Amino acid sequence: MDKFSFLHPGMKSHFSDRFVTRISDCLGWYKEGMSGDVGLIGLPASKSSITPSHSSGAPQTIRSCLNSYTTYSGERSKDYKDLRILDFGDVRIHPTNLDETISRLYISVKEMLEVRACERYVLLGGDHGVSYPAIRAFQDHYGTVGVIQWDAHHDVRNLEDGGRTNGTPFRSLVESGHLKGDHLVQVGIRDFSNAMKYHEFAKDHGIKVYTMGDVEQTGIVPIVKKEVERLSKITNIIYLSVDMDAADQAFAPGCPAIGPGGLTSRELLASVSEAAKHEKVKAMDIVEVDPAVDFRDMTSRLAAHVMVRFLFL
């Protein structure tokens, strides 16, 4: 028997509608010489997480959640079914050596950029520590980089108490000279979630900090629009870094550092959409999703929807 009637070995079984294109249908593995619209890479590192985390499993889970969304936007009356996403796969993480892992992440992102297969990129963490080597690679490739960081935390902890962790990426970038302080914007910083010393570090280095109080008073979309315009005038490209714990625990229960008082899912999605519209926004990472503690993939589904808002302009 050469074929099966209803079995497809190696493939998941799911309902198919001839009129529906799912975002997962737009993904294809990168091969040498190919070109596409958006490059996708997984950075499954989570051993540096201060809070025990299995966020190394997030890239694959978020990819699978893309099957939950279609390419058609009713609000925009547009079907994005022709968008081509090239998947570069996941970086192989060293099992014990953190420095080696950071090096592998940097080299892999740099190599992806060097083939110039795409105009924009999505990077799936992993904990927030992956942003340090990733943004370094973008800075080395494009020159001056501006960053908008959605986060409950500053992530500028000292390195003496634990080395490089998911709480240190932006301190590492600023102190190494790969990112100027006033080229970093932090949105959604949550009350009673940071130390005074780290808030002072951010202010002393010129980092633009918008707390949840600022978001409530001004609105997140006007804040993001203002800062994207400012960064576009002083940097070569803009990189978005979305720590999913910026969202309230009601919307993102699968984050290692959940907490109340965060962004709603609509605020997060609307602000990412606003930022992604600008031509200088070239990349976005999505970090701090732990599928092992998530509920019905709520956090991974929101992360996948954040990715959708970046993909479809």
Q: Was 90 annotated as part of a binding site? A: no
Please give the backbone phi and psi of residue 152, each rounded to the nearest 5 degrees, phi first: -80, -20
Q: Was 153 annotated as part of a binding site? A: yes
pTM (2 d.p.): 0.95
Domain residue extents for the chain: 23-311
Task: Report pLDDT for 283.
Answer: 98
C-beta of residue 257 within 8 angstroms of C-beta of residue 53: no
Q: Was 191 annotated as part of a binding site? A: no
Q: For the domain bounded by 23-311, which CATH number is listed? A: 3.40.800.10
Task: Report pLDDT for 2.
Answer: 57
Q: CA-CA distances (angstroms) from residue 107 to 43, 113, 125, 136?
A: 12, 10, 16, 10
- Nearest CA among 47, 313, 299, 131 for reference residue 123: 131
3-state secondary structure of 251: coil
H helices of 96-130, in order, are 98-114
Report the side by side order of strands in the sheet with 85-90: 27-29, 85-90, 38-43, 120-125, 281-287, 237-243, 145-150, 184-189, 208-211
Enumerate the β-bridge partners of residue 123: 41, 285
Task: Report pLDDT for 1.
Answer: 45
The beta strands (E) that lie in 44-84 are given as 72-73, 78-79
Q: Was 204 annotated as part of a binding site? A: no
Task: Report pLDDT for 15.
Answer: 79
Please give the backbone phi and psi of residue 219, each rounded to the nearest 5 degrees, phi first: 95, 140
Q: Was 214 annotated as part of a binding site? A: no
Task: Report pLDDT for 11.
Answer: 66
Q: Was 128 annotated as part of a binding site? A: yes
From first to last of its 313 residues, the chain has per-residue pLDDT tens of: 456 777 767 766 777 899 999 999 999 999 999 999 999 999 999 988 988 889 999 999 999 999 999 999 999 999 999 999 999 999 999 999 999 999 999 999 999 999 999 999 999 999 999 999 999 999 999 999 999 999 999 999 998 898 888 889 999 999 999 999 999 999 999 999 999 999 999 999 999 999 999 999 999 999 999 999 999 999 999 999 999 999 999 999 999 999 999 999 999 999 999 999 999 999 999 999 999 999 999 999 999 999 999 999 8
